[in-house]
Amino acid sequence: MTAEAAKPPLAVADGGQPLLRIRGIKKYFPVRRGFLQRVIGYVKAVDGVDLDVGHGETLGLVGESGCGKSTLGRSILRLIEPTEGTIEFEGRNITKLDRRHMKPVRADMQIIFQDPVGSLNPRMSVGDIVGEGLLVHGMKDRKKRQKIIRDILEKVGLRQEYANRYPHEFSGGQRQRIGIARALALSPKLIIADEPVSALDVSIQSQVLNLLVDLRKEFGLTYIFVAHNLAVVSYISDRVAVMYLGQVMELADAEELYKNPLHPYTQSLLSAIPQPDPDHPRNRTVLTGDVPSPFNPPSGCPFRTRCPLAREKGTQNGICAEERPPLIEKRVPGHFAACHFA
Amino acid sequence: MATDLLRVQDLVTEFRTDDGVVHAVDGVSFNIRQGQTLGLVGESGCGKSVTALSIMGLIEHPGTIAGGHIMFEGKDLVGLNQEEIRHVRGKEIAMIFQEPMTSLNPVYTVGDQIAEMARLHLHMDRKHAWEHAIEMLRTVKIPSPEKRVSDYPHHMSGGMRQRVMIAMAISCTPKLLIADEPTTALDVTIQAQILDLLRDLQREFQMSILMITHDLGVVAEICENVVVMYAGKVVEEAPVRGIFNSPQHPYTEGLLRSIPHLGMTSAAKLAVIKGTVPSAMNWPPGCRFAPRCSLRFEKCVEDPPLFDVGGQQSACWLNESGRRATSKRVVKAGEL
């Protein structure tokens, strides 16, 4: 990565210190083969990401499967240890903190998972699930814990009595509410929501999205909202980062990104989304082929093998193959794109 | 006007379990014309997939088709024995599923699996069937089909596997293709490819398609007519523009309002359908949507029939006296 100075300020407008600042985050998973389990290469799940997230901001991470958006989310929490890079939370570098020092930080950073079934322990009551974090972080007083649990269940739209029930007694939407309650219990500052509505039915999705919006307002939460559905992401997010093969391709205000996408990948992604409107004009750029494997990504710009712009300009094997385009500000302040031609 | 290829009439499919009878499909009727794409829309548990499996004759114990008719080219598929249904299934009516990995056999090459269809239904010999498989892979636009024909399913990406599934399904040029959430497991850019492919194939082979999906975007994109199901029943049926521009049933309207469109921001709250889908073991009496409906009134304790309101049908008592004025799409993309 180039020097810090060459990087544009990715922070939000207020100019103050961001809540979260990540620089040069990489996560390479080793691939081992053979009897000796020798490392034969790396899957570059996240390959050099810089982002700032302001206080109270919602940053959307969007991309197709395998683009590294979930790995990035988990790397930020250090649920997966990043291979390289730094994570600063409230101005403090937490990348190398040991378990003991990391623990209080974890109370401030929580996660909501996609699968509301797999992420709740079936043998624990809802109250125990929601209150576990409190116990771990030293709230020994049972009465106090129960009060918080009851309050939070109420906040997420569940009845207080549900504390004594078990996850299997609930529908998908309710389970997701339990997951949200668990994340809220420690009154965190940052919540990473990893595809929180993808597994839910359409009519339940909007309930959960509205809930997340309400809670953000009430508790002044900061979200990193990870999802593959661009309509959902841009609905809830202030800014959106579009990822492809472990890198950020474009970053802009949600509205700006939708109205004025600069990167050819974002443009084709937007045009590929089926609009719930039969009269919507269909002038789509259909991308040929599949996403290349992150085990062996293309050199230079990761998108060049499918890029209509590179094909048009005949640079697929020229500059686009030779140089990785930096993520730089283009045309409008705060609108970043990583493309040689955008 | 083309004739009806398939007429489903008052279909009732039940599952008799130890805990009670699950009325998964409870009196569903619709028709599909030749060359038409009909969308079957609804949330999980509404009975859309069971409807499809009933048409395919794939309902297994403890499930039974307890009533109704499935008329395919004038012949009733209900009551056919396994031998008879096998002549229809795969040849006349084919189906593709959501998860191509679990629907393909991992120990056979994709060529073997496509060729099997051709040998069984088209009585081709081994060599011709293999060539036919290559031809089918070419039809679904898989690059270098001569090479890919010997691949195993796990060699392929999700989008490629779905293409193989489609190649299998159309290998006997079926008259009806049932597509059960064919793009749900795929990324949007791949989904766009598959939808384009289905459209091209339909034009080429004059197939009818029954597209089962929960994604209203996919419906708007590919369907001409739409059947909306809720709790085992049809609540609305209409041409696609009717559904999107003036939904008559409150459930359809609620669904349309609850999805965020591109360009919406969280400044505008999403509409919500309260509560959850009821259990198929115990449907609410009267109108099954009533407990969640914001427009509920006294009449809703009775089960509403489908009212015809100008080419559109809606099972809501509000339509008893005709069309009601519903908002068009609430927020159009870009209006905010």
DSSP string, A228-269: S-HHHHHHH-SEEEEEETTEEEEEEEHHHHHHS--SHHHHHH
* Helices and strands, counts by H and E, chain B: 11, 12
- pLDDT (tens digit, 9 = 90+) per residue, A234-263? 999 999 999 999 999 999 999 999 999 999
Residues 272-291 of A with CB under 8 A from B: 272-280, 282, 284, 286-288, 290-291
Instruction: Give chain B's domain count.
Output: 2
Return the CATH number at B40: 3.40.50.300
Residues B174 and B130 in one domain: yes
Of residues A12, A61, A4, A2, the one with CA closest to residue A246: A61
Q: Which residues of B touch A193 (CB under 8 A)?
A: none
Confirm whether B329 is domain-assigned: yes
Record: contact A276-B244, CB cut-off 8 A: yes
* Strand-pair partners of A25: A49
Residues B147 and B41 in one domain: yes
Mean predicted lDDT score pLDDT of chain A? 90
Confirm whether B284 is domain-assigned: no
Please state, in angstroms and rounded to a whole number, the distance separating the CA atoms of residues B258 and B260: 6
What SS3 state is found at A49?
strand
Domain of residue B242, residue span: 235-261+270-278+290-335
Rounded percentage of chain A residues whose pLDDT exceeds 90: 74
Which of A64, A117, A206 best probes binding to B when mutated, by most B CB atoms within 10 angstroms? A206
Please state, in angstroms and rounded to a whole number, the distance separating the CA atoms of residues A135 and A35: 44
Please state, in angstroms and rounded to a whole number, the distance separating the CA atoms of residues B294 and B275: 11
Confidence of residue B2 (pLDDT cuts 50, 70, 90): low
Confidence of residue B121 (pLDDT cuts 50, 70, 90): very high
Of B180-184, B262-266, B299-303, the range with the highest mean pLDDT is B299-303
Residues B173 and B244 in one domain: no
Confirm whether B182 is domain-assigned: yes
Confidence of residue A301 (pLDDT cuts 50, 70, 90): very high
Confirm whether B150 is domain-assigned: yes
Instruction: Say if residue A15's pLDDT is above 80.
Output: no
Q: Is B189 on the interface with A (CB under 8 A)?
A: yes
Of B157, B273, B329, the CB nearest to A290: B157
Peptide bond into B285 cis (omega under 30): no
Residues B37 and B142 in one domain: yes
- Chain A residue with minimal CA distance to B253? A203
Confirm whether B127 is domain-assigned: yes
DSSP character at residue A2: -
Residues B11 and B133 in one domain: yes
Residues B116 and B93 in one domain: yes
Residues B69 and B159 in one domain: yes
Residues B21 and B140 in one domain: yes
8 A C-beta contact, residue B57 and residue B89: yes
Residues B171 and B239 in one domain: no
- pLDDT (tens digit, 9 = 90+) per residue, A77-92? 999 999 999 999 999 9
Of A204, A228, A286, the CB nearest to B193: A286
Q: Is B334 on the interface with A (CB under 8 A)?
A: yes
Q: Which residues of A touch B217 (CB under 8 A)?
A: 273-276
**What pLDDT does A3 receive?**
36
Q: Is A217 on the interface with B (CB under 8 A)?
A: no
Mean predicted lDDT score pLDDT of chain B? 90
Of A205, A231, A277, the CB nearest to B244: A277
Confirm whether B285 is domain-assigned: no
**What pLDDT does A321 receive?**
93
Residues B25 and B146 in one domain: yes
- Exposure string for A117-146, b = 16+ CB within 10 A, e = fewer: eebbeeeebbbbbbbebbeeeeeeeeeebe
**What pLDDT does B332 receive?**
42
Residues B131 and B241 in one domain: no
**What pLDDT does B312 receive?**
94
* Strand-pair partners of B213: B41
Rounded to a whole number of angstroms, the distance between the first and last alpha carbons of chain A is: 21
Which of B189, B257, B265 best probes binding to A when mutated, by most A CB atoms within 10 angstroms? B189
Go through chain A and tell me how many residues it has.
342
pTM: 0.88
Confidence of residue A116 (pLDDT cuts 50, 70, 90): confident
What value does the mean pLDDT take over residues B150-178?
Answer: 92
Confirm whether B283 is domain-assigned: no
Indicate the range of A137-141, B91-95, B259-263 predicted with least confidence: B259-263
**What pLDDT does B113 receive?**
94
Residues B186 and B313 in one domain: no
**What pLDDT does B158 receive?**
86
- Chain B residue with minimal CA distance to A157? B275
Confidence of residue A7 (pLDDT cuts 50, 70, 90): very low
Please state, in angstroms and rounded to a whole number, the distance separating the CA atoms of residues A119 and A178: 10
**What pLDDT does B130 receive?**
96
Sheet (strand B63-72) strand order: B20-33, B4-17, B63-72, B75-76
**What pLDDT does B9 receive?**
96
What value does the mean pLDDT take over residues B227-251?
Answer: 95
Of B99-113, B287-301, B316-330, the range with the highest mean pLDDT is B287-301
Of A14-23, A304-313, B235-244, the range with the highest mean pLDDT is B235-244
- pLDDT (tens digit, 9 = 90+) per residue, B110-120? 999 999 999 99
Confirm whether B175 is domain-assigned: yes
